Each structure stands twice: as structure tokens, then as C-alpha cells.
Amino acid sequence: MAVILIVDDEPLQRDILKTILSDEGYETYSAASGEDALKLARTYEPDVVLSDLKMGKMDGIELLEKLKGLKQAPTVLIMTAFGTIDSAVDAMKKGAFDYLTKPLDREVVLLAVRRALERKELMQRNLELRKALNDMFSIQGIIGHSKAIKDIIHIIRKVADSPATVLILGESGTGKELIAKAIHYNSGRREKAFMAINCAAIPETLLESELFGYEPGAFTGATQRKKGLFEAANSGTIFLDEVGDLPMMTQARILRVLQEREIMRVGGRESIKVDVRILSATNKDLQVEMKNGHFREDLFYRLKVVTIQMPPLRERKEDIPDLVNFFLQKFNHNVAKNILKIDDGAMKAIINYNWPGNVRELQSVLEKAVLMCESDTIGLSDIRGELRTAPRPSMGIEIPDEGIDLEELEKELLVKAMAKSSHVLAKAARLLDMNYDAFWYSWKKYELEDPAKRDSLKGILTESLPDGGISYEELERDLLKKAMEKANNVGARAARLLNMSYRAFAYRWEKYGMNRPAHD
């Protein structure tokens, strides 16, 4: 039940308001002065205070200021006579939610109180969400006790509250974005926006408009002004993930942001000042990228005032039990299960596994294990299928002189896997060593539920899938290497052999931990 406090030095006005609000089911208290109101507010912690503006020793504005200092500050409505509306507007500037003019109308009062309670509830939810975010990304929320993790936490504590740029390096799946969020939510910018963008996932033609925004008429379809992420993150933090994939032109514009603290929208003519802290991450060797002319040296040194190197999971195996317990609790909560533990055999297998996908792969394996486990203990049988120790058979596909369409090949593999699994999607995904979501995404992307789409495939594959399935990633990596060999290590030619753009080829090449190929 909401608590309302009425403050007015007129007894009749207090009684009328108390009757109106009590009849609506509110818990209502009243005070004849600001001093009495403060005492009642400390005792009953009201949600809303209706206070007269003009009173004796302590007027409504002074009471408003003192109420703001309470642990649970109420939402304040100011009541005023017609002649003192200017003073009421001044009270709103100082934090009052609204003002009501006397004589008061019953329906107007009730509507104002409902709106004030809605605002109070929204503010409370906002505080709870912010606290949850701060707790989630607090330094204490970083899982692990290895020396590598302790060293990273030490660096975060030192740099979080500074304006310094931080470059986070490490393999995919090691938790680079988690570290970026920990830096933001432990800094003085924690109350402002944290905006993240994957620079490799957005086409080059759209990337600048996403980052810097655009003006009407900047390009076809730009009918109205749009703010970019740098403006949206003003006074906060922007996280540039996969920063090594930035096109050279965009690198130059980001360098300007770092040097001049200003941006210009695409198609715009005026510079816009921004106050944004830039954090970035990559799984590439930027020193090699600079040597090959793919990354600006001046931007590199601007981004890496501080560098954090995230270790792969295989190099901090002492943290695995802590991570396992964390994910076990998380997924138990998410799916309303009560898995109590992981038996010794399963834990030994998890610790001994190499984890090429790092913490992200561990999380995926445990999520599936919690879903599929039918007892209160996860055993080796619940995870064995996810921990591959030997490569799956290869289909031995060669690239002819005229090339091969890699996208078409992927479509045919998806269709063959679905056919071999009797159209059970989870089984089909396992046949290609893909997770369920990745398989389903590709199936939908290529619209393969449409029989006409399936019938139009070119028939590149002449053999069936092996009974044990294959690893699509290993097949793709093998074809990328064969294309490079056939193209004499010229990236653009290799891309054409697989019927894809150089950028798409380079992205896939680097995904497997290989340095960006020379374009020509």
C-alpha cells in the first residue's frame, strides 16, 4: 500500500485531502508544519508528499530540500494558490514532481498522486537495475583466483576511474567485453551509457553511420537525422570490439575523436563535441597489422595507453572449478533446475580439455549439460559429446581451377545434415559440429525451409555426410587454406576462388587465428 504524507497549515484542507486519499486505499498521514512533516517522513518513509507552498517557519521549498536528503526520498507535489504559481514552477526546478493549484479538484489530486507513484516506481526500478548492473560487472564479479586474473583485477582497479583508453587483447571467448564492462561500471561514468559495437559484424558501408550518425540526405534512405553511438554514449563509454577490423577511413575518424574530442555526422558540416571514454578489444596482433599496412600506428598508440592481455582458459585451468560452479548456479536459476554438483570424472574431463573456444565454449557446454541432465549430478555422459578429442573425418573437397562457391557448399551441407538426421534440427547441428543456434540461424538466413530454395542448389557435393558427421569449421578452414595456396597467398584471388569478397574472406581467415592475408 502506498504511503502519502499531506503537509498543510490549514486543518480543513488537511482533513479533506486525508479523506479523499484514504477512501482510495492509500495509507495517509498529515502534518501541520514542515518540521512535523520531516519527523513523520523519517518514521513512515512516504512514497509521495503533498505539501503546501506557503507555510510558517519552514515553507514548501525548504521542506522539499530537506526531504531530498532522506535515505528514501519521496516524490513531492507542491500545492499553491493561483497567485504564487511562479514560486511553484521554481519548486519544480528544484526537484518537485508537479504542482496543484488551489482550490483543489478531487480527480486532479488523484491523477497527480497516481502519476507521482508511477514515477516513484520507475525510479525505484531504475535504481534496482543499476544496482544489478553494478553488481554483475563489479570487480568482485570477475571469476577466478589465478595469478593472471588477479593481475587483471589489479589493473582494472588502477585504471577504472581514469580517462585513459584501454586495449584488451585475447582470443575469442576469453571475456574481453566483460572486462570492458567492469572498467566502465567501476568508473565515475557508471551512471552513463555503455555502448558496445562489433566492428567486424557491420558492413563497411554502414559502420560510419552507426558510429557517427548521419544527416538527412547523406545517402539514399537517410530521410531524417540519426545520432550515432558516439553521441549516444556522451559522458559514458564506448567499447569497440574487434577494433582490428576497422577500415582505414574509419580509423582516421576515430583518431580525430581521440585527439579533438569531436565528431561529424555523415553528410554533416558541423563538428559536435563529445566526452566519451574509448575501450577497445581485438583478437589480432595489431603490431603485425601495422606492419602490413592495415592498422594506423598513431591510432594504435592512442588506443593502448593501458593494455590488458586476457589469458586463454587453457592457461588458467585453476579457475575452471570456480567458473563451473558459477555457470551451474546461473543455469540452475535460468531453467528452474536443481543440479547440485558435477561428479569427479566429469570435472576431470573439463579440466583436462583444451577449450579452444575458451570461457564461451565452457559456458555453452554447461548450459546444455544442465538442460539435458536428468539427475542432480552432471556426469561424464552429459558432457562427453561436447568435448571432442579427435578431429572428425574430412570430406576431402578440393578447389577446381574455376573455384567453388563456399556459401553454396554451406547450404548443401545444411540440407544434407537435415536429411540425414530425419529433419531433427539438434541432431543435424551435431552432424556438422555446430551449436543449435548457429545451425538454425544459417538455415533461416538461407531460407532453406522453402523446398524451391533447396531444389535450386547446384549439387557441389556428390558424397553423403559420414555417419559420424564432420566439423564444418574444420572444413571451412581447410578450404580457406587451399584457396590461399592455389592463389599463391594473394588474398583477393583466394576470395574469388571461393566466390566471396576479400573482406569476408579476411574476416573468416582471421576468425581461425591467422593473420590477415595480403590483398594483392
State the pLDDT at residue 85: 66
Q: Grid cell 477512501 — which residue?
A: 23
Q: What pLDDT, in 10s, does the model give residues 227-237? A: 999 999 999 99
Residues 276 and 176 in one domain: yes
State the pLDDT at residue 84: 62
| Alpha-carbon distances of 30 from 103, 109, 198, 376, rounded to whole Å | 18, 15, 56, 56
Segment 3-18 shows an average pLDDT of 90
Domain end, chosen from 386, 415, 437, is at: 386
- DSSP code of residue 266: B
Domain that holds residue 287: 143-311
Within a domain: 395: no
For the chain, percent of residues with pLDDT exceeding 90: 41
Domain end, chosen from 275, 292, 311, is at: 311
Residues 113 and 180 in one domain: no
Residues 231 and 210 in one domain: yes
Mean pLDDT of the chain: 87
Within a domain: 137: no
Could you tell me the three cell numbers for 114?
A: 497516481
Residues 155 and 289 in one domain: yes
User: DSSP readout, 403-417?
Assistant: ---HHHHHHHHHHHH
The CATH number linked to 324 is: 1.10.8.60
State the pLDDT at residue 435: 81
State the pLDDT at residue 254: 95
Residues 149 and 273 in one domain: yes
Domain end, chosen from 311, 338, 368, is at: 311
Within a domain: 399: no
Of 1-5, 10-14, 336-340, 386-390, least confident by mean pLDDT is 386-390
Are 328 and 365 a contacting pair, CB within 8 Å?
no
State the pLDDT at residue 136: 59
Residue 8: Cβ within 10 Å count: 26
The CATH number linked to 8 is: 3.40.50.2300
The CA distance from 93 to 63, in Å, is: 14
Confidence of residue 82 (pLDDT cuts 50, 70, 90): low
Residues 148 and 235 in one domain: yes
Residues 50 and 121 in one domain: yes
Within a domain: 328: yes
Segment 209-228 shows an average pLDDT of 89
Q: What pLDDT, in 10s, does the model give residues 413-448? A: 999 999 988 888 888 888 888 888 888 888 988 889
Residues 444 and 471 in one domain: yes
Residues 116 and 148 in one domain: no
**Per-residue pLDDT at 128 exceeds 80:** no
Residues 323 and 305 in one domain: no
Within a domain: 519: no
Residues 206 and 255 in one domain: yes
Instruction: Give the count of domains, the chain.
Output: 4
Pairing of strands 98-101, 75-80: parallel
Angle in degrees, CA 88, 36, 58, rounded to 5: 40
Of 135-149, 150-164, 499-513, least confident by mean pLDDT is 135-149
**Per-residue pLDDT at 497 exceeds 70:** yes
Residues 156 and 289 in one domain: yes
The CATH number linked to 150 is: 3.40.50.300
Segment 211-229 shows an average pLDDT of 89
Within a domain: 138: no
State the pLDDT at residue 115: 92
Within a domain: 74: yes
Segment 210-222 shows an average pLDDT of 89
